[in-house]
Amino acid sequence: MTVIWNPTLDDNAARWQALAHKLGSERFAPLAPELDREQRYPWETISALVEHKFTGLFLPTQWGGQGANLVATVAVVEALGTHCASTAAIMCAYQLGAFPLLLAGTDEQKSFYLREMAEGRATSFALSERIAGSDAAAIEATAVREGGGWRLRGEKYWIGNGGASRYYVVFAKTDPTAGGRGISAFMVDKEQPGAVIDELSDKMGIRGTQTSNLKLDLVVPDSAQVGELNRALRLALQTLNVGRIMVAAQSLGVALAGYREAAVRAVSRRTFGQPIGDNQAIGFRLADMATEISAARMMLYQAAQAYDRQEDVSNLGAMAKLFASEVSHRVVDNTVQIWGGLGYCKPTVAERLYRDQRILEIYEGSSEIQRLVLSRAVRKEAEELAI
């Protein structure tokens, strides 16, 4: 797609991206309609991701990973998303579970859990609850001292890869009186007694992924604690800063897939003796799609590069996630419109993309939360300028 702006990737990132496209076109895209229809978790896809080292792509080599930077990782997620949005979402869930350990785990925790992840036994990020999504400080799960460890009680919800993952980074209140300053994180193995997954979400889109709850009434040892006591909300937000860039990459994959479907339809479908793309009403839609995708892509790769330079990406990541997810919304909406009645019906790719896209404006922080983050940053900057 030469009309769409393409990032300049180094050899390593380009190699990973090319492999993702090859696997996507040969193995993941043909499976996508079945996964959507049956809402089935694709263990055969996981086997392929493990075989080709994608599950350890972003993990340091010393912990069994491939040591790829964030630019290479988002290039892979974006590429996978052009073929199967569910596969891209699974890759995002792997990353989200790994980053608390990468940021704050002990060497022993990294050595065990990250190696497990590289071999396909994933860790999931368990922060949200039924009443606490955007307001993470309002979680009600608790961790209370018991014997030589911590008794965790509560229920987590909206867990990406939930039920399919073996391990969970669970956030719980260790000081219920301190609000967001009283939250800690702990590693939980779903196989241990007292960990129960008994609900899988019946989702509109990305139906090849698995989203679950996790009920907890169990004791974990002190060695299960991740990071500082009572400081895990900050760890969660640092993780989400990276997660938002990953969702921006997923959004670009969906948008590129929608653009491809719309552009091909516009030249192959004829009405009144000419391709529908020759009508300005359609041609101008495609021009806007190409422009917005290019702009979102530039923002995505700038955010990934900034992270790789160890810069603060809290604002740029929020912008990338906000803009890319909303661009993907507009693109797939136009894709359905260009496909017309067929685009509204199963089993067209346009119809599936329309459903797959919608979650991108909700998870890892809704569009409203991104705007809240950015509006606070604008206010802080303006106050400093006014002094």
Return phi, psi of residue 209, to 5°. Answer: -95, 170
Which 3-state string (H, E, C) describes 217-283? EEEEEHHHEECCCCEHHHHHHHHHHHHHHHHHHHHHHHHHHHHHHHHHHHHHCEECCEEHHHCHHHH
| Long-range Cβ contact pairs of 367-376 (< 8 A, separation 24 or more) | 367/322, 367/325, 367/326, 368/134, 369/134, 370/244, 370/318, 370/319, 370/321, 370/322, 371/322, 373/314, 373/315, 373/318, 374/315, 374/318, 374/319, 374/322
Is the Cβ–Cβ distance between 336 and 308 less than 8 Å? no
CA terminus-to-terminus distance, the chain: 48
145 CB neighbour count, 10 Å cutoff: 10
Concatenated DSSP letters of 92-116: HHHHHHHHHHHHH--HHHIIIIIHH
Q: Residues with Cβ < 8 Å from 98, sequence gap 6 or more?
A: 58, 59, 114, 117, 123
- Kindly report whether the peptide bond that precedes residue 221 is cis, defined as omega within 30 degrees of 0: no
- Per the CB < 8 A criterion, the answer to whether 332 and 255 are in contact is yes
Task: State yes or no: is 383 an active-site residue.
Answer: no
E-only strand ranges, the chain: 123-126, 142-146, 149-160, 167-173, 183-189, 195-196, 211-221, 225-226, 270-271, 274-275
State which amino acid sits at residue 68. Answer: A
Q: Is 354 left (phi over 0), alpha (psi -120 to 50) or beta?
A: alpha
Please give the Cα distance from 13 to 242 (Å, whole number): 18
Q: Name the catalytic one among 129, 261, 292, 364.
A: 364
Distance between CA 361 and CA 202 in Å, rounded? 18
Catalytic residue list: 364
